Amino acid sequence: MIRYKWLFSVLSLTLFSSGFSQDANEILKKADEKLLPESFESYRKLINEEPDGSKKEFIFYSVKKGKDNVAMLYLSPASDKGRSTLRKGDNMWLYIPNVGRPIRITSLQSVVGGVFNNSDIMRLDYSVEYDAAFNEKTDSQYILDLTARTASVAYDKLKMWVDKKTLLVEKVECYAASGTLIKTLEFKEIKDFGNGLVRPAVIETTSPLYKGFRSVLIYSKLKLRKFPDEVFTLDYIPRLGELR
């Protein structure tokens, strides 16, 4: 009988924990849907602030389709205008008009400098790249531990704070496999973009590895829009501006 009790306890624990984990993944999926709709376009401004107070600013036009297709066109400054980046799942390319052809880049690099890297700016849904489990539940927040599903993901672990009522992400901490905190993303300025799209318009990033640096990503004119699959191809990258 004692043996059966043991078996029952182990089974219950396994079922309970898997259900618990599935619940966390459901919340992650819903948080993703709130942050990034299925198919949309947006304009984004990236401000890189240096320790001496100086700033570098970029403006992008971005489009996304499905869970793993993202493309982005640089609109300013003039020195970077016309560059574009494409992400299809783990594949990432950079197109520079003078170089003339898309070259493969990695998610760890930063094509714009500052604290944001390529995977932050060309981010896919969190639920595509991470498996979620509950760390803690407070009265107002879910705190999730996210573990990378594959080795090709930029950060091994994330800790995510999600508002219970709105299911909007409030903060994400990004960790290396060693447990070192790489950067913190704070989601601010909840804004109604229309068509039921209510989400943070500003993401601020700081990193203990880059003391004194701060990067701010501001969303504007985020709109639901359908795109053909062919928009997210190497052939189309140089023509991305036609979508505007």
Partner 1 sequence: MRVCLPIVFLLNLLLNGVAISQDYDFDIPEEEEEAVIAFNGNLDAKWGILKAQEESPLYRLNFFNTDNDDTYLSQYRLDFYFNGEYRHKQVGFFMKSFYQYTKEGPIDPTFFELYGSLNLTPKLSAGLGKRRYFWGKGYAFNPVGYVNAEKDPENPDLALTGIVSGYFNYNKSYNSAWLQNMSFSGLILPQEAEFNEKFASAGNTGLALKLYFLLRNIDIDFMMFQRKDEPQRYGLDFSTNVKTNLEIHGEVSYDRDDTKAFVQNDDIQQRKISGASYLFGIRYLTKQNTTIIAEYYHNNRGLYKSEFGEVLSFILNRVDSGNTLLVIQTRIDFTNQFRTRTFMRDYAYVKLSQPEPFGWLYSSINAFTIYNLNDNSFTLSAQLGYKPFTNFEFLLWPTLFFGNDVSEYGSKQFARRVEAWLRFFF
Under rule CB under 8 A, residue 30 binds partner 1: no
Under rule CB under 8 A, residue 229 binds partner 1: yes
Structural contact between residues 215 and 114, judged by C-beta atoms closer than 8 angstroms: yes
| Min CB(140)–partner 1 separation in Å | 24
- Cβ distance to partner 1 smaller for residue 93 or 142: 93
Under rule CB under 8 A, residue 239 binds partner 1: yes
The burial of 104, by beta-carbon neighbours within 10 Å (0-12 exposed, 13-18 middle, 19 or more buried), is given as exposed
Q: Is the dihedral of CA 17, 18, 19, 23 positive or negative?
A: positive
Among 7, 11, 13, 99, binds partner 1 (CB under 8 A): 99
Among 202, 206, 224, 225, binds partner 1 (CB under 8 A): 202
| Min CB(26)–partner 1 separation in Å | 25
The backbone region for 221, taken as left when phi is positive above 0, alpha when psi lies in -120 to 50, beta otherwise, is left
Token digits of residue 228? 């053909």
Among 14, 17, 22, 109, binds partner 1 (CB under 8 A): 109
Under rule CB under 8 A, residue 154 binds partner 1: yes
Among 23, 57, 131, 186, binds partner 1 (CB under 8 A): 57
- Cβ distance to partner 1 smaller for residue 61 or 142: 61
Residues that bind partner 1 (CB under 8 A): 43, 45, 50, 52, 56-57, 59, 75-79, 81-82, 88-91, 96, 98-101, 103-104, 106-109, 113, 151-152, 154, 189, 201-202, 218, 220-221, 228-236, 239, 241-242, 244
